[in-house]
């Protein structure tokens, strides 16, 4: 391994320097040389050296290990990173972080997001309900303006009960078409009609 004196010098210099910059281009660098996003990183490499060096796979692996170790040393020197070199075990060690505060913060954020979504949904439902009421009021006013009720003693609205809806639908239709009343169909009347259809019954037309 590292039979070339030139390569030995390069590796030795890499071990002595304070940075983790890779000293020579490796196989992956040659393959990715033309990729634009790596252009700045490749400016630090002398691709002419690759032609002078006959690197074996073991040589390249050693260079990779050296670069990774130097990178770890750089990280271990940063105060912001809980990362240090254990000289006894010859390993890099990452200190365990206290994530309890982070978990509490995430739970608080999730609760706030749920509350905001619930509030937005409530506002949406209120808006839709208000729009429906306004639309219904507009429809009712148009209907009230269109009826021809010559007898002021008669109410403008006809609200048939459920049995009449099922058994006297023809009369309801006549009242609706005469133009003298606004026929209001109650919810229980519509429900009874649906139930009768499901039970196989029929309506008296």
Q: What is the pLDDT of residues 46-81, one digit of tens each?
A: 777 655 567 788 888 888 888 888 888 777 777 766
Q: Does residue 96 or residue 141 have the better pLDDT?
A: 141
- pLDDT, position 205: 46
- pLDDT, position 197: 64
At 94-132, the pLDDT tens digits run 766 555 666 777 888 899 999 999 999 999 999 999 998
User: Looking at the predicted structure, is the pLDDT value of residue 42 above 70?
Assistant: yes
User: Looking at the predicted structure, is the pLDDT value of residue 35 above 80?
Assistant: yes
Work out the average pLDDT over 133-148.
77
User: Looking at the predicted structure, is the pLDDT value of residue 191 above 90?
Assistant: no
The whole-chain average pLDDT of the chain stands at 75
162 to 133, 173, 177, 180: CA distances (angstroms):
24, 15, 20, 21
Nearest to 4 by CA among 40, 43, 53: 53
- pLDDT, position 188: 67
Beta strands, E only, the chain: 83-86, 91-94, 157-158, 182-183
- pLDDT, position 78: 74
User: Looking at the predicted structure, is the pLDDT value of residue 146 above 90?
Assistant: no
Work out the average pLDDT over 19-42.
82
Q: Does residue 44 or residue 64 have the better pLDDT?
A: 64
Query: String of b and e for 75-85 (b: at least 16 CB within 10 Å)?
Result: bbeeeeeebbe
Lowest mean per-residue pLDDT among 30-44, 156-170, 184-198: 184-198
- pLDDT, position 44: 77
Q: How confident is the model at residue 45 (pLDDT cuts 50, 70, 90)?
A: confident
CA distance 103 to 200: 59
């Amino acid at each position: 391994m590292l039979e070339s004196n030139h390569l030995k010098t390069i590796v030795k210099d890499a071990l002595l320097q304070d940075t983790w910059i890779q000293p020579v281009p490796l196989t992956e660098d040659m393959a990715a040389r033309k990729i634009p996003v790596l252009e700045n990183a490749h400016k630090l490499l002398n691709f002419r050296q690759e032609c002078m060096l006959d690197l074996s796979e073991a040589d390249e692996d050693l260079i990779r290990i050296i670069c990774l170790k130097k990178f770890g040393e750089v990280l271990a020197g940063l105060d912001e990173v809980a990362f240090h070199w254990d000289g006894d075990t010859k390993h890099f060690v990452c200190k365990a972080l206290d994530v309890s505060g982070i978990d509490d913060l995430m739970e608080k954020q999730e609760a706030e997001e749920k509350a905001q979504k619930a509030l937005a949904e409530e506002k949406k439902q209120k808006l839709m309900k208000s729009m429906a009421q306004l639309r219904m009021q507009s429809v009712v006013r148009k209907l009230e303006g269109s009826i021809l009720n010559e007898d002021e003693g008669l109410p403008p609205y006809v609200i048939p009960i459920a049995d009449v809806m099922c058994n006297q639908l023809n009369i309801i239709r006549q009242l609706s078409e005469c133009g003298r009343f606004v026929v209001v169909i109650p919810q229980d009347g519509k429900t009874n009609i649906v139930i009768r259809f499901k039970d196989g019954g029929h309506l008296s037309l």
